[in-house]
Structure 1
Amino acid sequence: MTIRSTAARFIGASTLAVAAFAAQPALAQEADASDAEEAADGQLNTIIVTANRREENLQDVAVSAATLDADTVRTIFDAGAEITALAARVPGLFVESSNGRAAPRFYIRGLGNTDFDLAASQPVSVVMDDVVMENVTLKSFPIFDVERIEVLRGPQGTLFGRNTPAGIVKIDTVKPGDEFAVDGSVSYGSFNSISADGGVTLPLAPGVVSLRLSGLWQQRDNWVDNGFTGEEDAYGAYSEVAGRAQLLITPGDRLSILGSYSIRDLDGQSTLFRANILGPGDNELNENYDRDTVFYDAGGRNDAAYKAEIATAKVDYEADFATFTSITSWANSEGRSRGDIDGGNLVTGPGFIPFPSDTQDSIDLEQFTQEVRIASASNGPVQWQVGGFYFDSEFDVTTIGFDFPPPVTVNHTNESWAVFGQVTGEITPALKLTGGLRYTEDEKAFAVTQTSFISGPGAQERSVKDERISWDLAAFYDVGADASVYARVASGFRAPTIQGRDVAFGSAPSIATSEKIMSYEAGFKSEFAGRSVRLNGAVYYYTIDDPQFTAVGGAGNLVQLVNADQGRGYGFELDSAFQITPDFLVTAGVSWNNTEIQDDTLAVGICFQCTVTDPTVVLSGNTRALVDGNPFPNAPEWIADVTARYAVPVGNSGEIFAFTDWAYQGKTNIFIYESAEFNTNNQIEGGLRVGYAKLDGTFEVAAFVRNILDADNVKGGIDFNNNTAFVNDPRVFGISARVSY
């Protein structure tokens, strides 16, 4: 499979035409030193974000945003967790997956997509080092050697393009610098869980050439028994290796070239589905549930294996009046995952299982992106940027049913391009206005490429195309030296989508037209009490025309795209931090979100055995649920997070510390219809680290526990032929060490 020649011509012309901003390791070091001084003085650290594609203080940006720093990310991943561990770690963000470590689904302010297929589109973009990770398998690329993670809430269509009506998760990794540096962490815990990541910066020619090498290794042994076969420790293992090499060349003060190459290799298992563990008649875990045991008669050991490569070249040139930027990237992802979908067996269940279900999906994908930007020099009353973007991807998805259905391969292509611009003007010393505009064209095509039992190659061909203008307008006003208010109006859209997995099961592909969002947001940014308290908040209201939903599963085991007539959501987010003393820091965040589907005729398929609470109708002999008034699927009503770190100095150079972090997920409806079984509420997970650290940050050793309460939390369901669900990871105890030089 190859990217079309237009992409190759575009990369050649664009890369030679423009250049990008040089990495500034000296500035990063100065910021680190400044943060240390601020903490010593009892002040909160300055938080830098790049919501406007340039580095700015979070307190100066007219957008609702939250960040996770490198230490917090490492703590979350101490026990070998993957990207879904980010769920509920900042207000408004939810992440889940029914595909193990391979294909996460992101939601911001309730907007997301429950589609489990490898061809699924999402209204939340993941952007890693300025490159969009469009496909769900790329979104799962391991997080390591991270500088920060930003969550930008609300439409980001002007600067980041289509498929961002909910927002983006922006991941920035550590870049090469002018000084030798080593940092890393390693942890060991229950189930022989190992997580190790780190990086080293090698200034090959100081000031001219620098190399950054970083890597990740995570693994866990099998720990779940198969109660049907009697095999002990049959499931739950994974082994994942990832690496990244970055070479920074700065031949002059104005020119910078940053090349990077990343790889991943995952050998693991699919999500462990568990048959009939809910209800019936309620959402409580019943006597069929045993965290340490499943009862499989199929699934081929639930094997999952994925590989990926990402190559990027960022070229920057800083002229007197503007900075020219080119970002070129190519990515490949391929892999497969198989599972016992019903979560049990026909003999012992548990519970009633009417027929077996054993399915494998695989993908072979290539993606190419090219972005060019021209941005004005900073520190002026007017700042602007203009640019263009090109996207091209092609992938095959193969579905195999063992017994049924026979192998079917479908091909998806997507080509998109856009031009955009943004300008920020200082109207008065206290007031600045920002406006942006983006024009996008997006085109997708679908066809069957491998003969199935119902169709031959070229059958079921579909194509969709749309062109849209996205825009935003924001006002930011300083009401004092450390307090500001802002208002933002933004539009955005998710491009039309084709879903063809049902071809394998004898049904035609489904199509959803573009969803269009209009969002209204007002907020405040504040720091007070000598900058020992930070309090940021926002309220929002949005409406969506033709929202895209996926009616997944049900008794027909279908994946059907549907457009509702309208949808709306409103709520608030609050982020806070309190430097109570120089040795005691508390952060807290909370969000409340109310969403509603507005379509009095939309009817979808329902589960096989669960207790549907929606009104139902019979259409063409099938019972369907009317979903008007339902919340969006997987849209938690409440999300809250709390962290606290307290330290006691030991001598002149060290401290004993305790760090705890907690996440709360409120009432959440799993599917587009409502039932007594498939919803969750009041889920809490927490962690604790206790250890010794050097005051200069060079060394830390700690004991930790993740999921400290050993909470059994349902994370999703399979509503095909019984009340199947899957749950969170168990409690893990361990030890860890971190170094930074």
Structure 2
Amino acid sequence: MSQSRRARVRPHRLAIAVAALLPAASVLAQQSPTETAVADSTTTQASASTLDTVQVTAQRKVENVQDVPVSISTVSSEKLDVLGSGGNDVRFLSGRVPSLNIESSYGRAFPRFYIRGLGNTDFDLNASQPVSLIYDEVVQESPLLKGFPVFDLERIEVLRGPQGTLFGRNTPAGVVKFESAKPSQEFGGYAQLSYGTDNMWNFEGAVGGPLTERWSARVAALYQRKEDWVTNTYEPGPDRGVEGYDESAARVQFLYEGDALEALFNLHKRHLNGTARLFRANIIKPGSNDFVDGFDKDEVSTDGVNFSDLDTWGGSARLRWDLGDYNLYSITGYETAESLNRGDIDGGYGAVFLPDSGPGVIPFASESADGLPDHRQITQEFRLESDYSGPFNWQAGLFYFNEDITIDSFNYDSLTAGNPQAGHAIQQQENTAWAVFASGEYQATDKLKLRGGVRYTQDEKDFSASILEAAPFGAPVGGPYTVNTDVDDVSWDASAVYAINDDVNVYGRVANGFRAPSVQGRLLFAAADAPNGGVSTADSEDVISYEMGIKADLWDKRARLGFSVFRYDVDGQQIIAVGGGSNTATLLNADKTTGQGFELDLEAYIVDNLLVTLGSSYNDTEIKDRNLTVPGCGGGCTVTDPPLLDPVTGAATGRYYINGNSLPQAPEWVHNLTARYGIPMGDGSELYFYTDWAYRSEVNFFLYESVEFTGKSSLEGGLRIGYGWDYGNYDVAVFGRNITDQTRIVGAIDFNNLTGFINEPRTVGVEFTARF
């Protein structure tokens, strides 16, 4: 275990914390729901000083969050408006609810989600993640689909812990659910326009209403743009400016409401034209995780081409038949994506063997691109749900998933005029899976409800990869290299909710989760003698999670509390060793990984017009595999893990033991705070002040621990001052995002030099909203 490993919170301390909290909450509680929840847009405020019930669909039906035995957070529509004011993408949710982290080495195109420390740092377009993203009841499996813009939403739900029974598609860490605002028979909509720093424009709007007595429709659209805010100071460089974007998205929905049939049809599309993640050479001071002296976030010197093009579109049909004591559901989804993302991986210009290069040492030039020329995903679910008046109800169903994907990987010669192509590899995969599932709940007594579920899944992948054009210093032309996986698994969960009184519920849950095998085929820089051309495979992983918590309303519904503690064990966790001297990516299975911690959500009216929310989580993760080693950095970092020595010579091999390390991109602490104070001005108008803050502790960027590749703790805040009138129908505000202009290294490229990438800069702007 490395010297930097901190002392751990032991399970018995967490149990003591829960035991201490339960009687206190029981005494203080006054009225109804929650878990780790913040009111969603379906919730209307009863008065200026009380909170209303939060409704969620964590169990595939609408329920009071207090009754659901899962650790859940939801995000309110006003909070989404505030966080998205600066034109940010889905990553603005990172740290805004307990135990959630989101990062990307692709920029806006490819978000990577982590819940309770479980995620996947793999940058391959074929990567699978243990956090499933469900958009309008359709799973978004490809990482490129998970970045669909956040606009015109009814609610966001974050479900922590394995959700393998009812959702089932790669959910061992949890689920993030997005629900769009639906059409209705009432005409209405909104328009929102903001302008800010670096010529940032952000527009979103929606309009909907009845078409006939049975049909209604809703159309929503978003447009975001921002000019390049970073200047490329390398004069021969192909790009003079970087970090801008131009993005648009639209969604149209039609709803049919018959006597026994409800049908919702959805079409959606996204277009992104902007900058790929900007890598900056040698920005980390050796021997520390500080910026080098003289670092200027507004400048870069690179000789590579940088762009990100992405187009996605899809549709779904959600049907519900009312059969009396039963409801029958059919959910059909289709998604497709096409992309090309190109960047300067070495983050600088030239090379050390040339007369001029920099910034710092550039051992050799590296410029690459990954593209998705062909992609198709089809999903189908049938689900039958009982609607009895008695104590027992159930639901059961079938699920089918099929995905075809083709990935192009290119290498380019940055040292030759025009940056010509100098390497091409291709990956192809077909993934077919099906599942059958059942879940039931039983009201055992007036106070005790029991739930349980089971799901059988069969998953098959057919994969092939070939090198069509060899990159310099890489493997020769070859292939196809093939892999076939075919596995099945049974996931399950069991839980109980007990009502201490009308205002306080406690719950316990045990759940098992499963992730199917993953295949990785980044071949351009693989060694010539690499097994199967450099294709690597990780076997299935299984998670068992234990959780208990309390949900309560306090002080005559002026406050709402959610608290949970958890422990999980992962057998065979899929992890990936990225970078090293050859810039490879290799899938591995760790023998075991453990995690434990707690999550807290509190929402309260401190005084009648001051609403405060507080979220906090602790996640202690540890890799437990005494024999597992990974390559160390190729860019001169200071690795603090024990080295693997040659058994004959005793010399260092360049590999390091990672037993005892925390998981990458898994902060131990996440805190978030919001405060809104309103001053009524009469005649339905209000002056308000809103501030929000998000903190995360330090993180490891990679599987090994090193001084340089440890991200510092981060604290970002926002401020909004607004005036609303006509009873909330109109609003004008000034806002600031990252108001302290904090600059942090949030990720790194490991193989060439101390290259990293940073967070978004401060944005200041104005916003106008009209609702009708």
Question: TM over 0.5, yes or no?
Answer: yes
Give the counterpart letter for 2:364 in structure 1. Answer: F
Give the counterpart letter for 2:44 in structure 1. Answer: D
- Show the counterpart of 2:299: 293
- Show the counterpart of 2:582: 556
Give the counterpart letter for 2:708 in structure 1. Answer: E
Q: Relative to 1, partners in 2 of residues 1:120 and 1:439: Cα closer, same or farther, differing over 3 Å?
A: same
Q: Would the aligned equivalents of 1:655 and 1:695 in 2 still touch at CA under 8 Å?
A: no
Unaligned runs of 5+ in 1: 1-30
Which of 544, 548, 554 aligns to 2:570? It is 544
Aligned partners of 1:39 and 1:619: how far apart in 2?
71
Whether 2:196 is the aligned partner of 1:193: answer: no
Q: Would the aligned equivalents of 2:41 and 2:154 in 1 still touch at CA under 8 Å?
A: no
- Show the counterpart of 1:723: 754
Which of 522, 532, 540 aligns to 2:558? It is 532
Give the counterpart letter for 1:268 in structure 2. Answer: G
How far off is 1:739 after superposition?
Answer: 2.1
- Show the counterpart of 1:322: 326
> Any idea what the Cα deviations from partners look like across 1:384-411, whole Å, max 9, x if unmatched?
1000100000111101001375111110
Whether 2:453 is the aligned partner of 1:422: answer: no
Secondary structure of residue in 1 paired with 2:279: coil
How far off is 1:254 after superposition?
Answer: 1.5
Aligned partners of 2:462 and 2:763: how far apart in 1?
45
How far off is 1:249 after superposition?
Answer: 1.4
> What TM-score does the superposition give when structure 1 sets the normalisation length?
0.93
Secondary structure of residue in 1 paired with 2:107: coil
Which of 668, 677, 681 aligns to 2:699? It is 668
Which of 383, 398, 414 aligns to 2:408? It is 398
How far off is 1:715 after superposition?
Answer: 1.3
Q: Relative to 1, partners in 2 of residues 1:198 and 1:71: Cα closer, same or farther, differing over 3 Å?
A: same
Give the counterpart letter for 1:699 in structure 2. Answer: Y
How far off is 1:432 after superposition?
Answer: 0.2
- Show the counterpart of 1:106: 113
Give the counterpart letter for 1:262 in structure 2. Answer: H
> Any idea what the Cα deviations from partners look like across 1:469-508, whole Å, max 9, x if unmatched?
0000000000011101000000001110101113564542
Instruction: After TM superposition, list the pairs within 5 Å mapping 1:568-647 onto structure 2.
Output: 568-608=594-634, 609-618=636-645, 622-647=653-678
Give the counterpart letter for 2:215 in structure 1. Answer: V
Whether 2:467 is the aligned partner of 1:441: answer: no
> Any idea what the Cα deviations from partners look like across 1:591-641, whole Å, max 9, x if unmatched?
001000000110101112100000111469841010000001110110010
- Show the counterpart of 1:510: 536
How far off is 1:47 after superposition?
Answer: 1.4
Q: Would the aligned equivalents of 2:41 and 2:155 in 1 still touch at CA under 8 Å?
A: no
RMSD in angstroms over aligned alpha carbons? Answer: 1.7
Q: Relative to 1, partners in 2 of residues 1:512 and 1:428: Cα closer, same or farther, differing over 3 Å?
A: same
How far off is 1:543 after superposition?
Answer: 0.5
- Show the counterpart of 1:690: 721
Aligned partners of 1:550 and 1:619: how far apart in 2?
23
Secondary structure of residue in 2 paired with 1:576: strand
- Show the counterpart of 1:235: 242
Whether 2:309 is the aligned partner of 1:305: answer: yes
- Show the counterpart of 1:487: 508
Aligned length: 705
How far off is 1:448 after superposition?
Answer: 2.4
Whether 2:496 is the aligned partner of 1:475: answer: yes
How far off is 1:184 after superposition?
Answer: 2.9
Q: Would the aligned equivalents of 2:712 and 2:744 in 1 still touch at CA under 8 Å?
A: no
Secondary structure of residue in 2 paired with 1:711: coil
Give the counterpart letter for 1:418 in structure 2. Answer: A
How far off is 1:580 after superposition?
Answer: 2.1
- Show the counterpart of 1:336: 340
Secondary structure of residue in 1 paired with 2:481: coil
Aligned partners of 1:140 and 1:359: how far apart in 2?
22
Q: Relative to 1, partners in 2 of residues 1:34 and 1:522: Cα closer, same or farther, differing over 3 Å?
A: closer
Give the counterpart letter for 1:484 in structure 2. Answer: N
Aligned partners of 1:59 and 1:739: how far apart in 2?
33
How far off is 1:39 after superposition?
Answer: 3.2
- Stretch of structure 1 that moved more, 125-134 or 507-516: 507-516
Structure 1 runs (4+) greater than 3 angstroms displaced: 31-34, 230-233, 452-458, 503-507, 618-622
Give the counterpart letter for 1:119 in structure 2. Answer: N
Q: Would the aligned equivalents of 2:192 and 2:767 in 1 still touch at CA under 8 Å?
A: yes
- Show the counterpart of 1:701: 732
How far off is 1:289 after superposition?
Answer: 2.4
Secondary structure of residue in 2 paired with 1:84: helix
Whether 2:89 is the aligned partner of 1:85: answer: no
Q: Relative to 1, partners in 2 of residues 1:695 and 1:154: Cα closer, same or farther, differing over 3 Å?
A: farther
Q: Would the aligned equivalents of 1:185 and 1:737 in 2 still touch at CA under 8 Å?
A: yes
- Percentage identity across aligned positions? 43
Whether 2:384 is the aligned partner of 1:374: answer: yes
Q: Would the aligned equivalents of 2:43 and 2:54 in 1 still touch at CA under 8 Å?
A: no
Aligned partners of 2:726 and 2:259: how far apart in 1?
35
- Show the counterpart of 1:659: 690
Aligned partners of 1:457 and 1:437: how far apart in 2?
44
> Any idea what the Cα deviations from partners look like across 1:366-423, whole Å, max 9, x if unmatched?
1000011001116542221000100000111101001375111110111000000100
- Show the counterpart of 1:17: none
Instruction: After TM superposition, list the pairs within 5 Å mapping 1:60-139 onto structure 2.
Output: 60-139=67-146
Whether 2:517 is the aligned partner of 1:496: answer: yes
> Any idea what the Cα deviations from partners look like across 1:121-159, whole Å, max 9, x if unmatched?
100000000000001000111111111110000000000
- Show the counterpart of 1:356: 365
Q: Would the aligned equivalents of 1:488 and 1:522 in 2 still touch at CA under 8 Å?
A: yes
Aligned partners of 2:391 and 2:191: how far apart in 1?
41
Secondary structure of residue in 2 paired with 1:696: coil
Q: Would the aligned equivalents of 1:276 and 1:288 in 2 still touch at CA under 8 Å?
A: no
Q: Relative to 1, partners in 2 of residues 1:504 and 1:282: Cα closer, same or farther, differing over 3 Å?
A: closer
- Show the counterpart of 2:279: 273
How far off is 1:451 after superposition?
Answer: 2.6
Q: Relative to 1, partners in 2 of residues 1:288 and 1:163: Cα closer, same or farther, differing over 3 Å?
A: farther
